Amino acid sequence: MASGQQWVLVEMVQAFYEAPAYHLILEGILILWIIRLLFSKTYKLQDSSDLTEKEIEEIIEEWQPEPLVPRMSKEKPAPSYNIVSGPPCHKITVNGKQCINFASFNFLGLLDNDRVKNQALQSLRKYGVGTCGPRGFYGTFDVHLELEDRLAKFMRTEESIIYSYGFATIASAIPAYSKRGDIVFVDEAACFSIQKGLQASRSHIKYFKHNDMEDLERILKQQELEDQKNPRKARVTRRFIVVEGLYMNTGAICPLPELVKLKYKYKVRIFLEESLSFGVLGQHGRGVTEHFGVNIDDIDLISANMENSLASVGGFCCGRSFVIDHQRLSGQGYCFSASLPPMLASAAIEALNIMEEDQDIFRLLRDKCKHIHKELQGILGLKVVGESISPAFHLQLEQSSGSRESDVRILNRIVEYCMDRKIALTQAHYLEKEEKFLPPPSIRVVVTVEQTEEELEMAANLIKEAAQNILQ
Amino acid sequence: YHQKICLHCDKVNRKSSHICHNGGIYKRPFKESFEETPMLVAVLTYMGYGILTLFGYLRDFLREWKIEKCHNATEREEQKDFVPLYQDFENFYTRNLYMRIRDSWNRPICSVPGAKFDILERVSYDYNWTFKYTGRIVNDVINMGSYNYLGFAENSGVCADAAAEMTLKYGVGVCSTRREIGNLDKHEELEKLVAKFLGVEASMAFGMGFATNSMNIPALVGKGCLILSDELNHASLVLGARLSGATIRVFKHNNMQSLEKLLKDAIVHGQPRTHRPWKKILILVEGIYSMEGSIVHLPDIIALKKKYKAYLYLDEAHSIGALGPTGRGVVEYFGLDPRDVDIMMGTFTKSFGAAGGYIGGTKELVDYLRTHSHSAVYATSMSPPVVEQIITSMKCIMGEDGTTLGQERVQQLAENTRYFRRKLQEMGFIIYGNDDSPVVPMMLYMPAKIGAFGREMLKRNIGVVVVGFPATPIIESRARFCVSAAHTKEMLDTALNVINEVGDLLQLKYSRHRLVPLLDRPFDETTYEENED
């Protein structure tokens, strides 16, 4: 073996002597070049600073940043909040005035319910207030597991997952599934939390006109054509449609059966946001799937917050285990945040109990909505925007006065007029610079089960009066 | 491999632990240590992960060829021709590594998360794919995992009584946003109290700590601004920075030279390509980093911030209530002026036993956030009993309820922290972080030891938190203990004995610097070099 190696060495030395001169010179130059590259400084991508120390100091001295927050001008002071003293239930005290509440999303009147309060109290006496940890680190309580179980059973899905903040629910769910490169088709009137979820996901967003299925089909067809050009990429690009059951910004209901048809035709998954329709639509309050009689397994993910009908805090997502279980490790608002305080979870469980026992409240709520909807038709200057069975609808100015600011001011005067006469209303507030498609200014009227017929009549008459006085 | 070059003392520190004084900026010795991973341990850990990966591929192969039963939930029949929702390799780690030790996490409890709690027992007959509850409750497990620093997680006492009263009076929900009709008088009271507690002009409270970061950073900075964020910042800070649209540059963890270099480069060169000057520069740091146990070098950062005219955003999620002689957080710990920090953010979940977050600063800042924060306009306000719990516990810490209970708890926490850390270091474990931080990460390194440690500790009635990849770098898995003021010395001693036992059983005592065991005298600031190598 050794002789073999030696033999190879001799051959090498021989070859070295026999090689032509230019060959050796070329190799020598190459070796020197490599050595030079190894020892030279790394190539800087940023232009190397040939500024002197003194110049650097001067630049640092001269640079002035903008103020951390822009100065508020004296002419337009920041609008102050309404202060509510006491519980925000049916009879509410706003800025010292006692009013009837037409502004809180307390659809089923469970905010002031004694059973719910007692259950929360019992839970407080057992668990304390906070959970002191995220779900993964001893923040999972048996009440959380029970609530998830109950919600899954109520909605007739396999599994559900709870979040501790309503806004964070859909904003964490969307980025868990849709990543960079995926495509999401979203309605223009989607609420802000959906928009933030989409922004966090970094996917391609394609908007379609509000509730316009033809527009949606048009862009789906467009996408199909593009897919045919690049089938390899299309095979790994996930597609989603995100819609709301009952839109917060317009009070409209999404046409779910057509959406399901489009889903199977173009192979897109549906994410349904049911914050306003959970506990409102459907015979048993199960939301828009029950309202239309759609099989709940056809919807991939249903997300809702528990802050409207359930009068608690937090949110949940439900669907098949295949879909929901993924969020337990990749939903940011679930993994990296403390869990829901157990007393709020117990309150939600009791609210669910009440919803299951008393099936009639849903029909009652819908009747009241239809009633006030009819009453408010035909007001000169104001138009009602929203379905007749939507408990949260908008009153917009029929003719805009030109600028958004003056519209807002006029509507504010109507709101104040009503508040002075014992009806608490509110304008729908938006972050004007942040919204993608800013809805026109409007007053949001909320109907709850606790409002009596007389109160509804009174509210309708008052709004008519206010419109007459202020808009004429 | 941490080679720390101290900015002040100007010498390369070959030892892994370092104490610095910096002639006056640091009023007390700042001692933190991040011992290097022993070479043998690193090699064995990589080997362990390699073997697990190979087995993972084998199991995937068996599952695909139906030789092994697949426990995973699968897609619907009707949707089998849709684009797959998850890519197979994305979940490789989850399926093959996480699943095997999954019982160390998500353990359900059924009592107050105080110093001791009750865990629901669960068993798995199919290697952690599904769990069944036996119905038995493991009582009085010592809690070393919950963030209960000052022991306010209790179901009786002044705070709980006040919260109970508020539940009956106000109810549990609010059903509206702050901007519309959800702004209760209780919220205003809370905000004034928080401002007083922190020593700032005004503050604003939000319903979720995570959302406080992710919704307010975009309101403060936008395109054309620069964010300098620490390497190990929490997911909420990273998400907030991303959503804002500003340029993000990362500096090495707690490394002031790295930060200074970035600041200098940013101001001198301006925005990339156009070289226009930056509109604002925002530095994002945390008070205590929960995975490392390190405390931010705040005096240095404030000096840099003043020199380069940047703004400082300090996230005191873990340090509020836990550091400082009266529990005011990391600013008080260093003896600095709260007005030097532009935006002080924190959470109520950890030291106050409630839920939610706050931002404190100048009146201008808070007025701006009241109109422009996403949370104020679109998210429901905080629940009234939770607000009451915060108000009562904060008053207790400040001493305004007439007792010295709060002060006692803060001191108890400091003592417990020092004792616990000292004893663990004497035993020979590798502990990361600052000596005063109540978050104590203990290194495990090897993947099998993560699961083993969690299980062995539970068998001996101690509940601990173990963390691995991806929350930590792949070979630096650790167990993280959270010391609480509610722990008595007996509980800590029991826990320490058990940790000693398990440490011997699993061979976790990697440290090569053995501390000379102190006589039982109080920690004296004149004793420094005690390490024997």
Q: Which of the pair, B66 or B315, is modelled with greater confidence?
A: B315
Question: B129, B142, B175: best mutation site toward chain A, by most A Cβ within 10 Å?
Answer: B175
Q: d(Cα B214, Cα B359) in Å, to the nearest integer?
A: 12
Q: Is the confidence at residue A471, as pLDDT, over 90?
A: no
Q: Reduce the DSSP state of residue B449 to 3 states and report it.
A: helix
Question: Measured between beta carbons, which residues in chain A are less than 8 angstroms from residue B463?
Answer: 138
d(CA A448, CA A372): 11
Residue A3 pLDDT > 70, yes or no?
Answer: no
Cα gap A288→A274, rounded to integer Å: 8
- Residue type at B426? E
A145 touches chain B (CB under 8 A): yes
CB-closest option in B148, B155, B181 to A426? B181
Strand pairing report for B311-315 and B247-251: unpaired
Which among A48, A83, A137, A263 is the top mutation candidate for probing chain B, defined by the most B β-carbons within 10 Å of its own β-carbon? A137
| Residue A181 sits at the chain B interface (C-beta within 8 Å) | no
Per-residue pLDDT tens over the stretch B253-264? 999 999 999 999
Helix (H) or strand (E) holding A175: helix A166-177
Work out whether the CA dihedral A453, A455, A461, A463 comes out positive or negative. Answer: negative
B232 CB neighbour count, 10 Å cutoff: 18
Could you tell me which of B122, B118, B123 has the C-alpha nearest to residue B142?
B118
A196 and B374 within 8 Å at the Cβ level: the answer is yes
Residues of chain B contacting A341 with CB distance shorter than 8 Å: 354-355, 383, 386
Name chain B contacts of A121, Cβ cutoff 8 Å. Answer: 164, 167-168
Measured between CA atoms, the residue of chain B closest to residue A249 is B378
The overall longest dimension of chain B from CA atoms, in Å, is 73
Query: Does pLDDT of B529 surpass 70?
Result: no
CB-CB contact of B187 with B358 (8 Å): no
pLDDT tens per residue across span B266-305: 988 888 888 888 999 999 999 999 898 999 999 999 999 9
Higher-pLDDT residue of A325, B532: A325
Question: In angstroms, rounded to a whole number, what is the distance separating the alpha carbons of residues A429 and A441?
Answer: 8
Residue A418, both tokens = 């009503």
Nearest-CA residue of chain A relative to B208? A165
User: What is the distance in angstroms between the Cα of A49 and the nearest Cα belonging to chain B?
Assistant: 9
Q: Is the peptide bond before B517 cis (omega within 30 degrees of 0)?
A: no
A124 close contact with B: CB closer than 8 A: yes
In 3D, which of A305, A306, A288 has the Cα closest to residue A110? A306
Determine what percent of chain B is predicted with pLDDT higher than 90. 59
pLDDT of B3 strictly over 50: no
* Cβ within 8 Å, pair B94-A329: yes
Q: Tell me which chain A residues have a C-beta less than 8 angstroms from the C-beta of B354.
A: 129-130, 341
Kindly report the nearest CA distance between residue B51 and chain A, in angstroms: 24
Q: What is the 3-state secondary structure (H, E, C) of B374-428?
A: HHHHHCECCCHHHHHHHHHHHHHHHCCCCCCHHHHHHHHHHHHHHHHHHHHHHHC
Q: Which residue of B has its CA nearest to A311?
A: B173
Closest C-alpha among B370, B357, B111, B219 to residue A164: B357
Residues B83 and A237 sit within 8 Å (Cβ to Cβ): yes
- B166-184 average pLDDT score: 89
With 90 as the cut, is the pLDDT of residue A195 above it? yes
How far apart are alpha carbons A324 and A254 in whole angstroms?
A: 23
Residues B489-512 pLDDT 10s: 999 999 999 999 999 999 988 888
Confidence band for B84, pLDDT divided at 50, 70 and 90: confident
C-beta of residue A237 within 8 angstroms of C-beta of residue A182:
yes
User: Which tokens belong to B395?
Assistant: 């008053």
Cα-based torsion angle of the residue sequence B369, B370, B372, B375 in order, rounded to the nearest 10 degrees: 100
From the list B387, B236, B143, the residue with the least C-alpha distance to A343 is B387
Q: What is the predicted pLDDT for the residue at A300?
A: 92
B278 neighbourhood in chain A, CB within 8 Å: 65
Chain A residues whose beta carbon lies within 8 Å of the beta carbon of residue B235 = 332, 335-336
Token pair, residue A180, equals: 């960079």
Q: Mean pLDDT across chain B, nearest whole number?
A: 87
Orientation angle between helical segments B489-506 and B447-459, nearest 10 degrees: 140
Q: What percent of chain A has pLDDT over 90?
A: 47
Nearest CA in chain B to A118: B168
Could you tell me the pLDDT band of residue A68, with boundaries at 50, 70 and 90? Answer: confident
Q: B454 CA to chain A: closest CA distance, Å?
A: 12
Helix (H, G, I), strand (E, B) or coil at A204: strand
Residue B390: is its pLDDT beyond 50?
A: yes
**Closest Cα in chain B, distance from residue A84 (Å):** 5
Cα distance between residue B426 and residue B417, in whole Å: 14
> Which residues are within 8 A (CB) of A223 and not within 5 positions of it... i.e. 6 or more apart?
A183, A206, A239, A266
Least Cα separation, residue B55 to chain A (angstroms): 22
Q: How far is CA A130 from CA A127, B152, B155, in A?
A: 8, 9, 10
Higher pLDDT, A15 or B128: B128
State how far residue A63 is from chain B, nearest Cα, in angstroms. 7
Check pLDDT > 90 for residue B516. no
Please give the distance of CA B530 from its chain centroid, rounded to a whole number.
29
Residue B46, CA atoms < 13 Å, CB-side half-sphere: 6
- Which pLDDT score, from 0 to 100, does residue B356 have? 92
Q: Do B120 and A192 touch (CB under 8 A)?
A: no
pLDDT tens, position by position, B417-428: 999 999 999 998
Report DSSP state, residue A246.
B
Eight-state DSSP code of residue A358: -
Question: What is the per-residue pLDDT across A410-424, written as a single tens digit (0 to 9) for each?
Answer: 888 889 898 898 899
- Rounded to whole angstroms, how far apart are CA atoms B98 and B91? 10
Where is average pLDDT lowest: A34-43, A390-399, B130-139?
A34-43
DSSP at A86:
S
Q: A56 CB near a chain B CB, below 8 Å?
A: yes
pLDDT in tens, B181-232: 889 999 999 999 999 999 999 999 999 999 999 999 999 998 999 999 999 9
| Contact residues, chain A, for B108 at CB < 8 Å | 140-142, 144-145
Q: Cα–Cα distance between A217 and A96 in angstroms, integer?
A: 52
Neighbours of B522 (CB within 10 A): 7
Give me the residue from A92, A127, A336 closest to B236, CB to CB. Answer: A336
**Rounded to an integer, what distance in angstroms lies between the CA atom of residue A6 and that of residue B253?**
55
For B174-190, give the secondary structure using H, E and C: CCCECCCCCCEHHHHHH
Percent of chain A scoring above 70 in pLDDT = 96
Compare all CA atoms of chain B with the CA of A92 and give the residue at the minimum distance. Answer: B181
Residues of chain A contacting B370 with CB distance shorter than 8 Å: 78, 81
Tell me what pLDDT residue B528 has: 47
Report pTM.
Answer: 0.89
Query: Which residues of chain A neighbour B114 with C-beta distances below 8 Å?
Result: 128
Strand partners, A258: none
Cα B369 to Cα A158, A427, B164, B230, B269: the distances in Å are 40, 19, 31, 24, 31
Please, which pLDDT band fits residue A401 given cuts at 50, 70 and 90?
confident
- In this predicted structure, the answer to whether residue B532 has a pLDDT above a threshold of 50 is no
Instruction: Quote the pLDDT of residue A2.
Output: 54
Report the gap between the CA of A289 and the closest CA in chain B (Å): 18
- Each residue of A200-256: pLDDT tens digit? 999 999 999 999 999 999 999 999 999 899 888 888 899 999 999 999 999 899 999
ipTM given for this complex: 0.89
Residues from chain A that touch B372, judged by Cβ atoms under 8 A, are 431
B176, A88: Cβ pair inside 8 Å? yes
Average pLDDT over every residue of B32-51: 90
Q: Is the pLDDT of residue A155 over 50?
A: yes
List the single best residue of B96, B181, B466 to mutate versus A (max A Cβ within 10 A): B181
Closest CA to B37 of B510, B532, B451: B510
Q: From the CA of B114, how many Å to the nearest CA of chain A?
A: 9
Choose the closest CB to A333 out of B146, B210, B309.
B210
pLDDT of residue B12: 42
| A85–chain B Cβ distance below 8 A for any pair | yes
| Interchain contact A255–B (C-beta under 8 A) | no
**Would you state the pLDDT for residue A49?**
60
Which amino acid belongs to residue B184?
L
User: Shortest Cα distance from A440 to chain B (angstroms)?
Assistant: 16
User: Among all residues of chain B, which has the CA nearest to that of A426?
Assistant: B180
Compute how many other C-beta atoms are within 10 angstroms of the C-beta atom of residue A167.
30
**How many degrees, rounded to 5, is the angle at CA B210 between CA B205 and CA B212?**
35
User: In the prediction, which pLDDT does B461 show?
Assistant: 92
**Residue closest to B399 by CA, chosen among B326, B333, B319, B321:** B326
Q: Kindly determine whether residue B353 and residue A69, on different chains, have CB atoms separated by under 8 Å.
A: no
Q: Which residues 366-395 of chain A have a CB within 8 Å of chain B? A: none
| Burial track B493-505 (b if 16+ CB lie within 10 A, e otherwise) | ebbbebbbebbee
State whether residue A25 sits within 8 Å of chain B by CB. no
| pLDDT score for B24 | 59
Q: How many CB atoms lie within 10 A of CB B182?
A: 26
| Report for A397-401, B2-6, B31-35, B146-150: range of highest mean pLDDT | B146-150
Residue B264: list chain A partners with CB under 8 A. Answer: 56, 60
CB contact under 8 A, A434 and B374: yes
For residue A205, the model assigns a pLDDT of 94
Give Dmax over CA atoms of chain A in angstroms.
113
> What does the pLDDT read at residue B6?
46
* Chain A residues with CB-CB distance to B159 below 8 A: 129
Q: Shortest CB distance from B374 goes to which of A137, A141, A192?
A: A192
Indicate the SS3 state at residue A343.
helix
